Protein backbone atom coordinates (compact mmCIF):
# COMPACT_ATOMS: atom_id res chain seq x y z
CA UNK A 1 0.00 0.00 0.00
CA UNK A 2 2.91 2.37 0.67
CA UNK A 3 6.15 3.04 -1.22
CA UNK A 4 5.74 0.10 -3.59
CA UNK A 5 7.55 2.11 -6.26
CA UNK A 6 10.76 1.42 -4.30
CA UNK A 7 10.24 -2.33 -4.74
CA UNK A 8 9.51 -1.85 -8.44
CA UNK A 9 12.57 0.35 -8.93
CA UNK A 10 14.92 -2.17 -7.29
CA UNK A 11 13.43 -5.45 -8.48
CA UNK A 12 12.40 -4.71 -12.08
CA UNK A 13 14.57 -4.03 -15.11
CA UNK A 14 16.84 -2.20 -15.79
CA UNK A 15 18.20 -2.46 -12.21
CA UNK A 16 16.84 -5.92 -11.50
CA UNK A 17 15.18 -8.68 -13.52
CA UNK A 18 12.11 -10.90 -13.50
CA UNK A 19 13.57 -13.37 -10.99
CA UNK A 20 15.08 -10.72 -8.69
CA UNK A 21 14.55 -11.10 -4.95
CA UNK A 22 15.22 -8.63 -2.16
CA UNK A 23 14.96 -7.96 1.55
CA UNK A 24 14.29 -4.58 3.15
CA UNK A 25 15.72 -4.21 6.65
CA UNK A 26 13.56 -2.20 9.04
CA UNK A 27 13.21 -1.36 12.69
CA UNK A 28 11.58 -4.35 14.46
CA UNK A 29 8.09 -4.10 15.94
CA UNK A 30 8.21 -7.33 17.96
CA UNK A 31 9.89 -7.49 21.36
CA UNK A 32 13.16 -9.41 21.28
CA UNK A 33 13.81 -8.93 17.56
CA UNK A 34 17.14 -7.53 16.33
CA UNK A 35 15.78 -6.25 13.03
CA UNK A 36 12.71 -6.31 10.84
CA UNK A 37 12.79 -7.86 7.37
CA UNK A 38 10.34 -7.41 4.51
CA UNK A 39 10.80 -9.83 1.61
CA UNK A 40 10.04 -8.72 -1.93
CA UNK A 41 10.37 -9.86 -5.53
CA UNK A 42 9.50 -8.52 -8.96
CA UNK A 43 5.83 -9.36 -8.46
CA UNK A 44 5.14 -8.37 -4.86
CA UNK A 45 5.89 -9.53 -1.31
CA UNK A 46 6.20 -12.81 0.59
CA UNK A 47 5.59 -13.51 4.27
CA UNK A 48 8.83 -15.42 4.76
CA UNK A 49 11.95 -16.41 2.84
CA UNK A 50 14.71 -18.75 3.99
CA UNK A 51 17.47 -17.70 1.61
CA UNK A 52 16.47 -14.06 2.10
CA UNK A 53 16.82 -14.50 5.86
CA UNK A 54 20.27 -16.06 5.44
CA UNK A 55 21.36 -13.22 3.18
CA UNK A 56 20.06 -10.64 5.64
CA UNK A 57 21.98 -12.26 8.52
CA UNK A 58 25.25 -12.26 6.55
CA UNK A 59 24.83 -8.59 5.57
CA UNK A 60 23.89 -7.53 9.10
CA UNK A 61 26.93 -9.22 10.64
CA UNK A 62 29.63 -8.75 8.02
CA UNK A 63 28.88 -5.05 7.45
CA UNK A 64 28.60 -4.22 11.15
CA UNK A 65 25.00 -3.03 10.87
CA UNK A 66 24.27 -4.76 14.17
CA UNK A 67 26.20 -3.83 17.26
CA UNK A 68 28.66 -6.39 18.56
CA UNK A 69 31.83 -7.92 17.22
CA UNK A 70 31.78 -10.52 14.47
CA UNK A 71 34.39 -12.66 16.16
CA UNK A 72 34.72 -16.31 16.95
CA UNK A 73 34.44 -15.58 20.67
CA UNK A 74 30.77 -14.76 19.95
CA UNK A 75 30.37 -18.00 18.02
CA UNK A 76 27.70 -18.83 17.09
CA UNK A 77 26.05 -15.42 16.91
CA UNK A 78 22.29 -15.54 17.44
CA UNK A 79 19.78 -13.12 15.95
CA UNK A 80 16.01 -12.75 15.85
CA UNK A 81 14.36 -11.50 12.65
CA UNK A 82 10.95 -9.84 12.73
CA UNK A 83 9.24 -11.04 9.53
CA UNK A 84 5.63 -10.85 8.28
CA UNK A 85 5.35 -14.57 9.11
CA UNK A 86 6.52 -13.98 12.69
CA UNK A 87 9.75 -14.05 14.69
CA UNK A 88 12.52 -16.10 13.05
CA UNK A 89 15.52 -17.17 15.12
CA UNK A 90 18.88 -17.49 13.36
CA UNK A 91 22.39 -18.42 14.35
CA UNK A 92 25.53 -17.72 12.37
CA UNK A 93 28.77 -19.69 12.61
CA UNK A 94 31.78 -17.37 12.35
CA UNK A 95 35.35 -18.11 11.30
CA UNK A 96 38.08 -15.54 10.61
CA UNK A 97 35.50 -12.77 11.05
CA UNK A 98 33.35 -14.19 8.26
CA UNK A 99 30.02 -15.98 8.38
CA UNK A 100 30.51 -19.57 7.23
CA UNK A 101 26.94 -20.82 7.71
CA UNK A 102 23.53 -19.56 8.79
CA UNK A 103 20.88 -21.72 10.42
CA UNK A 104 17.31 -20.52 10.73
CA UNK A 105 14.54 -21.98 12.82
CA UNK A 106 11.58 -21.44 10.56
CA UNK A 107 7.92 -21.07 11.43
CA UNK A 108 6.07 -24.18 12.57
CA UNK A 109 5.23 -26.07 9.39
CA UNK A 110 2.45 -28.51 8.61
CA UNK A 111 0.82 -30.64 5.93
CA UNK A 112 -2.54 -29.31 4.71
CA UNK A 113 -4.10 -31.78 2.30
CA UNK A 114 -3.73 -33.84 -0.86
CA UNK A 115 -5.76 -33.28 -4.00
CA UNK A 116 -5.88 -34.17 -7.66
CA UNK A 117 -5.95 -31.57 -10.41
CA UNK A 118 -6.59 -31.74 -14.14
CA UNK A 119 -3.60 -30.45 -16.06
CA UNK A 120 -3.70 -30.05 -19.82
CA UNK A 121 -2.33 -31.99 -21.71
CA UNK A 122 -1.04 -34.34 -18.99
CA UNK A 123 -4.33 -35.25 -17.34
CA UNK A 124 -4.82 -35.94 -13.64
CA UNK A 125 -1.90 -34.91 -11.42
CA UNK A 126 -1.68 -35.55 -7.63
CA UNK A 127 -0.70 -32.52 -5.54
CA UNK A 128 0.22 -32.25 -1.86
CA UNK A 129 -0.17 -28.90 -0.11
CA UNK A 130 1.95 -27.91 2.88
CA UNK A 131 2.79 -24.76 4.81
CA UNK A 132 6.37 -23.75 5.60
CA UNK A 133 5.96 -20.00 6.13
CA UNK A 134 4.20 -19.83 2.75
CA UNK A 135 1.73 -22.27 1.21
CA UNK A 136 3.23 -24.66 -1.36
CA UNK A 137 1.82 -27.01 -3.96
CA UNK A 138 4.21 -30.00 -3.97
CA UNK A 139 4.33 -32.10 -7.13
CA UNK A 140 6.53 -35.08 -7.96
CA UNK A 141 8.17 -34.46 -11.35
CA UNK A 142 7.47 -38.09 -12.31
CA UNK A 143 3.81 -37.11 -12.74
CA UNK A 144 4.81 -34.37 -15.20
CA UNK A 145 7.14 -36.51 -17.32
CA UNK A 146 9.90 -33.92 -16.98
CA UNK A 147 13.21 -34.08 -15.07
CA UNK A 148 14.16 -31.19 -12.79
CA UNK A 149 17.15 -29.91 -14.76
CA UNK A 150 18.25 -26.48 -16.04
CA UNK A 151 17.49 -27.62 -19.60
CA UNK A 152 13.80 -27.98 -18.70
CA UNK A 153 13.31 -24.75 -16.75
CA UNK A 154 10.96 -23.10 -19.27
CA UNK A 155 8.40 -25.93 -19.45
CA UNK A 156 8.68 -26.44 -15.68
CA UNK A 157 7.91 -22.75 -15.12
CA UNK A 158 4.79 -22.97 -17.29
CA UNK A 159 3.65 -26.09 -15.48
CA UNK A 160 4.34 -24.47 -12.11
CA UNK A 161 2.03 -21.56 -12.90
CA UNK A 162 -0.66 -23.87 -14.31
CA UNK A 163 -0.49 -26.09 -11.22
CA UNK A 164 -0.84 -23.14 -8.85
CA UNK A 165 -3.82 -21.79 -10.80
CA UNK A 166 -5.57 -25.17 -10.81
CA UNK A 167 -4.89 -25.76 -7.11
CA UNK A 168 -6.24 -22.37 -6.03
CA UNK A 169 -9.50 -23.05 -7.87
CA UNK A 170 -10.30 -25.84 -5.41
CA UNK A 171 -8.06 -25.27 -2.37
CA UNK A 172 -10.17 -24.06 0.57
CA UNK A 173 -8.16 -23.85 3.76
CA UNK A 174 -7.83 -21.53 6.75
CA UNK A 175 -4.76 -21.24 8.95
CA UNK A 176 -5.52 -23.28 12.10
CA UNK A 177 -4.55 -20.43 14.44
CA UNK A 178 -5.05 -17.12 12.62
CA UNK A 179 -8.09 -18.28 10.67
CA UNK A 180 -6.84 -16.41 7.60
CA UNK A 181 -7.86 -17.92 4.28
CA UNK A 182 -4.94 -19.60 2.54
CA UNK A 183 -3.77 -19.19 -1.03
CA UNK A 184 -1.02 -21.29 -2.56
CA UNK A 185 1.70 -18.86 -3.66
CA UNK A 186 4.42 -21.24 -4.84
CA UNK A 187 4.70 -24.50 -6.74
CA UNK A 188 7.50 -26.87 -5.74
CA UNK A 189 8.23 -29.52 -8.35
CA UNK A 190 10.66 -32.09 -6.96
CA UNK A 191 12.58 -35.10 -8.17
CA UNK A 192 13.67 -37.95 -5.90
CA UNK A 193 17.33 -37.91 -6.89
CA UNK A 194 20.11 -38.33 -4.32
CA UNK A 195 19.93 -35.79 -2.81
CA UNK A 196 16.44 -34.79 -3.98
CA UNK A 197 16.20 -31.57 -5.98
CA UNK A 198 13.46 -29.11 -6.78
CA UNK A 199 12.43 -26.13 -8.80
CA UNK A 200 10.28 -23.57 -6.97
CA UNK A 201 8.10 -21.39 -9.22
CA UNK A 202 6.36 -18.26 -7.93
CA UNK A 203 4.97 -14.90 -9.05
CA UNK A 204 4.55 -14.68 -12.81
CA UNK A 205 7.04 -17.46 -13.48
CA UNK A 206 10.01 -16.57 -11.32
CA UNK A 207 12.35 -19.38 -10.24
CA UNK A 208 14.11 -19.60 -6.88
CA UNK A 209 17.89 -19.86 -7.20
CA UNK A 210 18.09 -21.61 -3.83
CA UNK A 211 16.37 -24.84 -2.74
CA UNK A 212 13.91 -22.46 -0.96
CA UNK A 213 13.97 -22.40 2.83
CA UNK A 214 10.20 -22.21 3.28
CA UNK A 215 9.83 -24.82 0.54
CA UNK A 216 12.27 -27.12 2.32
CA UNK A 217 10.26 -26.65 5.51
CA UNK A 218 7.01 -27.47 3.69
CA UNK A 219 8.62 -30.53 2.10
CA UNK A 220 9.86 -31.80 5.48
CA UNK A 221 6.37 -31.29 6.94
CA UNK A 222 4.94 -33.35 4.07
CA UNK A 223 7.55 -36.10 4.49
CA UNK A 224 6.95 -36.20 8.25
CA UNK A 225 3.19 -36.49 7.65
CA UNK A 226 3.87 -39.47 5.38
CA UNK A 227 6.18 -41.08 7.96
CA UNK A 228 9.27 -40.67 5.76
CA UNK A 229 11.24 -38.17 7.89
CA UNK A 230 11.80 -38.27 11.64
CA UNK A 231 12.93 -35.55 14.08
CA UNK A 232 16.72 -34.97 14.07
CA UNK A 233 17.09 -36.85 10.76
CA UNK A 234 19.16 -34.73 8.31
CA UNK A 235 17.50 -33.81 5.03
CA UNK A 236 19.64 -32.47 2.16
CA UNK A 237 17.72 -30.64 -0.57
CA UNK A 238 19.06 -29.17 -3.80
CA UNK A 239 17.76 -26.56 -6.20
CA UNK A 240 17.56 -27.08 -9.94
CA UNK A 241 20.90 -25.22 -10.13
CA UNK A 242 22.64 -27.48 -7.58
CA UNK A 243 22.65 -25.11 -4.60
CA UNK A 244 21.94 -26.99 -1.38
CA UNK A 245 20.34 -26.54 2.04
CA UNK A 246 20.53 -28.97 4.93
CA UNK A 247 17.25 -29.35 6.77
CA UNK A 248 16.22 -31.02 9.99
CA UNK A 249 13.07 -31.42 12.06
CA UNK A 250 13.89 -30.15 15.54
CA UNK A 251 10.73 -31.52 17.11
CA UNK A 252 7.08 -32.27 16.60
CA UNK A 253 4.51 -29.71 17.69
CA UNK A 254 0.93 -28.54 17.10
CA UNK A 255 -0.44 -25.56 15.20
CA UNK A 256 -3.94 -25.25 16.56
CA UNK A 257 -5.40 -28.74 16.17
CA UNK A 258 -3.03 -29.68 13.36
CA UNK A 259 0.13 -31.81 13.80
CA UNK A 260 3.20 -29.80 12.82
CA UNK A 261 6.98 -29.69 12.94
CA UNK A 262 9.60 -27.15 14.01
CA UNK A 263 11.98 -27.02 11.02
CA UNK A 264 15.58 -25.90 10.91
CA UNK A 265 17.42 -24.98 7.69
CA UNK A 266 21.17 -24.41 7.23
CA UNK A 267 22.86 -22.68 4.30
CA UNK A 268 25.05 -19.68 3.57
CA UNK A 269 25.18 -16.43 1.60
CA UNK A 270 27.92 -14.17 0.26
CA UNK A 271 28.01 -10.42 -0.27
CA UNK A 272 28.59 -9.68 -3.97
CA UNK A 273 28.62 -5.88 -4.00
CA UNK A 274 27.51 -2.53 -2.61
CA UNK A 275 25.28 -0.55 -4.93
CA UNK A 276 23.91 2.97 -5.22
CA UNK A 277 20.80 3.41 -7.36
CA UNK A 278 19.45 6.70 -8.69
CA UNK A 279 16.10 7.74 -10.15
CA UNK A 280 15.98 10.44 -12.83
CA UNK A 281 12.66 12.30 -12.82
CA UNK A 282 12.81 12.61 -16.62
CA UNK A 283 13.22 8.86 -17.13
CA UNK A 284 9.93 7.42 -18.48
CA UNK A 285 10.89 4.10 -16.86
CA UNK A 286 12.18 5.62 -13.63
CA UNK A 287 10.63 2.87 -11.53
CA UNK A 288 11.45 0.01 -13.84
CA UNK A 289 9.55 -2.07 -16.35
CA UNK A 290 8.40 -5.66 -16.67
CA UNK A 291 9.12 -6.92 -20.16
CA UNK A 292 6.86 -9.92 -19.52
CA UNK A 293 3.88 -7.60 -19.07
CA UNK A 294 4.43 -5.54 -22.22
The catalytic position among 212, 229, 240, 269 is 212
Query: What distances in angstroms separate CA 286 from CA 8, 278, 280, one per listed residue?
Result: 9, 9, 6
Q: What letter does residue 92 receive in the DSSP assignment?
A: E
Element (H, E) at 26: strand 21-26
Residues with Cβ within 8 Å of 13's Cβ and at least 6 positions away in sequence, in order, are: 288, 289, 290, 291
The catalytic position among 20, 37, 49, 201 is 49
Q: Examine the residue annotation and report whether 112 is marked as an active-site residue of this protein.
A: no
Beta carbons of 65 and 59 less than 8 angstroms apart: yes
Q: Examine the residue annotation and report whether 49 is marked as an active-site residue of this protein.
A: yes
Q: What is the DSSP string of 2-20?
A: -SHHHHHHHHSBTTS-TT-
* Catalytic residue set: 49, 212
Amino acid sequence: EHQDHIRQMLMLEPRGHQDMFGAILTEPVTDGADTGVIFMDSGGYLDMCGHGSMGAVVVLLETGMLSGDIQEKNNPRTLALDTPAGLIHARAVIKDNRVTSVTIQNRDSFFCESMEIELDPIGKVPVDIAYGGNYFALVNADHLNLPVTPAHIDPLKKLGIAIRTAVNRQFIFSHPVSGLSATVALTEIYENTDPPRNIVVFGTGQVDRSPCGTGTSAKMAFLHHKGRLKPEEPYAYQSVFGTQFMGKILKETQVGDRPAIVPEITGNAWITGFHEFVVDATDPYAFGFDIQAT
